[in-house]
Structure 1
Amino acid sequence: MKKILIPLLALVVMTGCGTANVSNTVSSQSVSSKHDKGYTIGYKMINAEDLKKNLYVIASDEMEGRDTGSPGQKKAGEYMVNYYKNLGVSYPKALGSYYQKVPSEFMKKRGGGNLPDSENIMAFIEGSEKPDEIVVISGHYDHVGTKNGVVYNGADDDGSGTVAVMEMAKAFQAAKKAGKGPKRSVLFLHVTGEEHGLFGSEYYTDNPVFPLANTVVDLNIDMIGRDDPANRGKQYIYVIGSDMLSSQLKVINEEANKKTHNLELNYKYDDLNDPEQLYYRSDHYNFAKNNVPVAFFFDGIHEDYHKPTDDPDKIDYKLLEKRTQLIFTTAWDIANRTERIVVDKK
């Protein structure tokens, strides 16, 4: 997650804008039994072991802290692309590859100093009935690199979100292979440059592969593998922004939570006046300012945040599994409901 707070004046300008119960209960609108079966197939694919396996690679010393445009980040990106290839999950046809170049010049103009060219990475599963409507599941795969010879592995920030996005792609793909894939298309979006200024998500929303008017939601994941001091040992997740633009999204997520692990959904930061200003500090904000409903999933500021001690051995993998299953369930509902969720708030 981006560490530097946006100045308050800038915000004023910008705000013009356990075991799961895998039941057949559905939220708000009924979906067909075919899609309930697809949900069950996908849900069961999400597991702590695979999340751990991928995170120990993404957050290894070999990736050198994944600073924006660095060789280590590119190596992590290659691992992710090969993962998607092995799953049989392709990229958006309009993009022509898994990579969307984010030019150095773009980042420099927005305060990115001398960052080199970098890339967003995208995998894509086309919907069976409403392929032009896009559900985005996002997370940033960059971190802060190496300082004074010490690698900042960023296992939680945002290795946890990165592997959660990868795991959900596996889940949706399993449903699709069984002939029970999502009605709407799903874009698995790994953005770069978040730590330096939300650059990758800004570049995507300035240069969308799919029209933002067709983008139904962005479910953004940035740090979901740990707990913070205020919630030590609890089964919880912070949810930010889910009712800022749509009256339906928060309800859908809460019903998904009841359907799965009934985590404590903490809305402490779901306040535009909160001093941490977290609504503005991760990649969902670039979608929100373009009137796309968002929900940001987050575990809080813990003692290893932006320190070299944010390592994969400190992740609570069972809790990471539960949180990933919750977000998958939310995404599944949105991707399969009869009508797309409304945008009825400003």
Structure 2
Amino acid sequence: MKKLLIPLFSIVLLSSCATAKVSDGNASPPVSTKHDKAFTNAYKAIKAEDLKKNLYVIAADDMEGRDTGSPGQKRAGVYITNYYKNLGISHPKALSSYYQKVPSDFMKKRGGGNLPDSENILAFIEGSEKPEEIVVVSAHYDHVGVKNGVVYNGADDDGSGTVAVMEIAKAFQEAKKAGNGPKRSMLFLHVTGEEHGLFGSEYYSENPVFPLANTVVDLNIDMIGRDDPANRGKQYVYVIGSEMLSSQLKVINEAANKRTNNLELNYKYDDLNDPEQLYYRSDHYNFAKHNIPVAFFFDGIHEDYHKPTDKPDKIDYQLLEKRTQLVFTTAWDIANRAERIVVDKK
């Protein structure tokens, strides 16, 4: 997640940086009984040991902290794209590969200094009934690189979100293989340049592969593998932005939570006036500013945030699994409900 470096009075300019039935009171029932078994099997495919296996690669020293456009980040990108290839998940047909180039000039014009060209990574599962409607699950796969010869591994920030997106994609692909793929299309979006200014998500929002008008939601995952001092040892997750644009999204997410691990959903930062301004500090904001409902899943500011001690051996993998399952369940609901969720707030 991007550090907050801009004073609060500049908020308008801020652009940086987290049995199976669901029911709610505001919308049509989202998942029919015939999907219950498919949901359960897909949900169970999300496993702590697989999250750990992938994170130890993504946050390894040889990824050199995954700074934007760096050789280490590109190596991480190869690992991610090979993962999708092995699962049989392709890229959007509009692209010739999994990569969407984010040009150096684009980032420089937005304060990106001398960053080299970089890439967003897009994996895609086409919906069976409403393929034109897109559910986005996002995370940034860059971190802050190497400083004074020391690797900043970024295991939580945002290796945890990166591997969660990969695992959620696997779960949806398991359902598709069983003949119960999502009704709406799923875009698994790994963005670059977040740490320098949300550049990858901004580039996607200005050069969308799918029309923004057809984008139903962005579920953004940025740091979900640790706990912060205020919640030490608790089974919780911060959820930010889920009721900013839609009266339904928060209700859907809370129902998904009760359906699964019943984590404590903490809304401390779900406030435009909160001094940390987290609503503006991760990649979901570049969807929200286009009036697309968002929910940002986050574990808080802990003692290893943006330090070289943010390593994979400090991740709580069981809690990472539960949080990943929550995002998956929320995405499953949104992808399979009869009606698209509403945008009824400004």
Q: Taking structure 1 as the reference length, what is the TM-score of the superposition?
A: 0.96
Q: 1:129 is matched with which residue? A: 129
1 CA distance for matches of 2:184 and 2:165?
Answer: 17
The question of whether the paired residues in 1 share the 8 Å contact of 2:183 and 2:335 is answered with yes
Matched residues in 2 for 1:333 and 1:175: separation?
Answer: 13
8 Å contact from structure 1 (residues 248, 341) kept in 2: yes
What's the counterpart of residue 22 of structure 2?
A: 26
Alpha-carbon distance in structure 1 between the residues aligned to 2:41 and 2:170: 11
Contact 1:183 1:335 in 2 (8 A): yes
Structure 1 CA distance for aligned equivalents of residues 6 and 290 of structure 2: 18
AA matched with 1:316: D
Counterpart AA for 2:109: K
1:96/1:289 CA distance change after superposition, 3 Å: same
Provide the rounded CA distance (Å) in 1 between the counterparts of 2:255 and 2:22. 8
SS in 2 for 1:3: coil
Alpha-carbon contact 2:20-2:39 (below 8 Å) kept: no
Q: Counterpart of 2:270?
A: 270
Corresponding residue for 2:285? 285
Q: Which amino acid aligns with 2:20?
A: N
Preserved CA contact (<8 Å) 1:216 1:341 = yes
**Which residue is 1:193 aligned to?**
193
Amino acid at match of 1:225: G
The structure-2 alpha-carbon separation of the partners of 1:105 and 1:12, relative to structure 1 and needing over 3 Å to count, comes to closer
Q: Secondary structure at the match of 1:105?
A: helix
In 2, the alpha carbon distance for the partners of 1:335 and 1:235 equals 26
Q: For residue 257 of structure 1, what is the aligned residue in structure 2?
A: 257
The 8 Å contact of residues 145 and 153 in structure 2, kept in 1 or not, is answered as: yes
Letter in 1 for 2:79: Y
1:232-270 Cα distance to aligned partner (Å, 9 max, x none): 000000000000000000000000000001100000000
Aligned match of 1:328: 328
Equivalent-residue separation in structure 2 for 1:161 and 1:216 (angstroms): 20
User: 1:95: how far off?
Assistant: 1.5
Mapped to 2, the partners of 1:207 and 1:136 lie a distance apart of: 15
Distance in 1 between the 2:182 and 2:6 partners?
37
Q: Name the counterpart of 1:18.
A: none
CA RMSD, 1 decimal:
1.1
Q: Provide the C-alpha distance between the structure 1 equivalents of 2:140 and 2:6, rounded to a whole number of angstroms.
A: 18
CA contact (8 A) 1:84 1:90 kept: yes
Q: Is the 8 A contact 1:125 1:173 kept in 2?
A: yes
Distance 1:284 1:51 in 2: 22
Deviation at 1:39, TM superposition (A): 1.1
Structural mapping, 1:45-194, within 5 Å: 45-194=45-194
Q: Contact 1:37/1:180 (CA < 8 Å) preserved in 2?
A: no
2:303 alignment partner, SS class: coil
Give the Cα–Cα distance (whole angstroms) in 2 for the partners of residues 252 and 77 of structure 1.
32
Which has the larger displacement, 36-45 or 245-254?
36-45
Query: Is 2:21–2:33's contact at 8 Å kept on the other side of the alignment?
Result: no
In the alignment, is the contact (CA less than 8 A) between 1:69 and 1:118 conserved in 2? yes
Quick one: distance in 2 between partners of 1:158 and 1:89?
22
Q: Match of 1:19? A: none
Q: Within 2, Cα distance between the matches of 1:195 and 1:52?
A: 23
Q: Over residues 306-335 of structure 1, what are the superposed CA-to-partner deviations in whole Å (9 max), with x where a residue is unaligned? A: 000000000000000000000000000000
1:35–1:182 CA contact under 8 A, matched in 2 = no
**C-alpha displacement at 1:14, in angstroms?**
6.9
Structure 1: runs of 5 or more not aligned: 16-22
Following the alignment from structure 2 to structure 1, what is the Cα–Cα distance between the partners of residues 7 and 120?
26
Instruction: Give the structure 2 partner of residue 221 of structure 1.
Output: 221
Residue-pair matches, total = 339
Distance 1:34 1:310 in 2: 42
Aligned partner of residue 100 in structure 1, secondary structure = strand
Shift of 1:40: 1.2
What secondary structure is seen at the aligned counterpart in 1 of 2:127?
Answer: coil
Structure 1 stretch 159-168 or stretch 28-37: which is displaced more?
Answer: 28-37
Kindly provide the CA deviation profile for residues 197-250 of structure 1, in whole angstroms up to 9, marking residues without a partner as x: 000000000000000000000000000000000000000000000000000000
Over residues 253-297 of structure 1, what are the superposed CA-to-partner deviations in whole Å (9 max), with x where a residue is unaligned?
Answer: 000000001100000000000000000000000000000000000
Contact 1:2 1:281 (C-alpha < 8 Å) held by counterparts: yes
Amino acid at match of 1:101: K
For 1:314, the aligned partner's letter is K
Distance 1:13 1:70, change over 3 A: closer
Shift of 1:7: 3.4
CA distance in structure 2 between the partners assigned to 1:76 and 1:103 by the alignment: 19
Provide the C-alpha distance between the structure 2 equivalents of 1:297 and 1:14, rounded to a whole number of angstroms: 19
Structure 1 residue matching 2:9: 3-state secondary structure? helix
The answer to whether the 8 A contact 1:161-1:222 is kept is yes
Distance 1:181 1:134 in 2: 14
Q: What's the % identity of the aligned pairs? A: 85
